[in-house]
Every structure is written in C-alpha cells, then in structure tokens.
Amino acid sequence: MMPMPKFCQFFVCATPGEGRCGSKGGGEVLESFRAEVERHGYAPSAVLRNACTRRHHEGPVVFVYPDDVWYTEVTPGDVPGIVENHLAGSRSSKTGA
Ligand code: FES
C-alpha cells in the first residue's frame, strides 16, 4: 500500500512594499516553492501566501505548518532543501528507516 502523503503547508511571505519580504525576493521564493512541491508530487496549493507577520527585517520568511518551523532570509536556492526536510522526511519516519 502506498503511504499517505504527509499534510504540509508552506506559508511564504511575499508582501510588497519597501523593506518587506516582496522587495527581498519573496515572489521568487514563492514560485520556487510551488515548483518544488510539484516535483515531490504535491499540488501547488500546498504553498500559500502569508500575510505580513512583522518579521521582514529577517525576510523573506517562510512558515511550515504543521511542523511549526520558521525559515528566515530564504532564497530560491534554499527551497529544495527546505521542501526535502518537510516532505521527504515524512517517508522515512513512517518506515522508521
Ligand atoms: S512583509 Fe514579510 S514579514 Fe512583513
């Protein structure tokens, strides 16, 4: 039997405005997340636009639900590793490998 895919959502802040995540590359990060989750067989709707959480001094920021993990100063290059951490890790935890 195929394992159930893990429920996971990536909230990416790409809020536009001076000094905000959108002006620091948040839009590119959002697109990278959509492409990467699809590569893992997930719908791009697993990636959502987050509202400003007043953390843009360390933006672009990403929150992963339900794992409750924040990432700061995220670049498109960080995205494959982050997605791997949260989606690929679920497979091995189920088998205990
Ligand atoms: S704009 Fe991203 S935290 Fe404020």
Whether residue 7 has pLDDT greater than 70: yes
CATH of the domain at 76: 3.40.30.10
Closest ligand 1 atom number to CA of residue 55? 3
Q: Report the 10 Å Cβ neighbour count for 36.
A: 21
Rounded to the nearest integer, the mean pLDDT of the chain is 90
In 1-97, which ranges are continuous DSSP H helix? Answer: 26-39, 79-83, 89-95
The protein residue with its alpha carbon nearest to ligand 1, atom 4, reads 52
Q: What SS3 state is found at 71?
A: strand
Does residue 59 line the site of ligand 1, with CB under 6 A? Answer: yes
Q: Write out pLDDT tens, residues 40-89.
A: 999 999 999 999 999 999 999 999 999 999 999 999 999 999 999 999 85
Burial 68-80 (b: 16+ CB within 10 A, else e): eeebeebebeebe
Give how many domains the chain has, as a whole number.
1
Does residue 24 line the site of ligand 1, with CB under 6 A? Answer: no
Query: The whole model's pTM is what?
Result: 0.88
Q: Is residue 32 included in any domain, yes or no? A: yes
The whole domain housing 34 covers: 9-91
Mean pLDDT on 2-18: 90
Whether residue 93 has pLDDT greater than 50: no
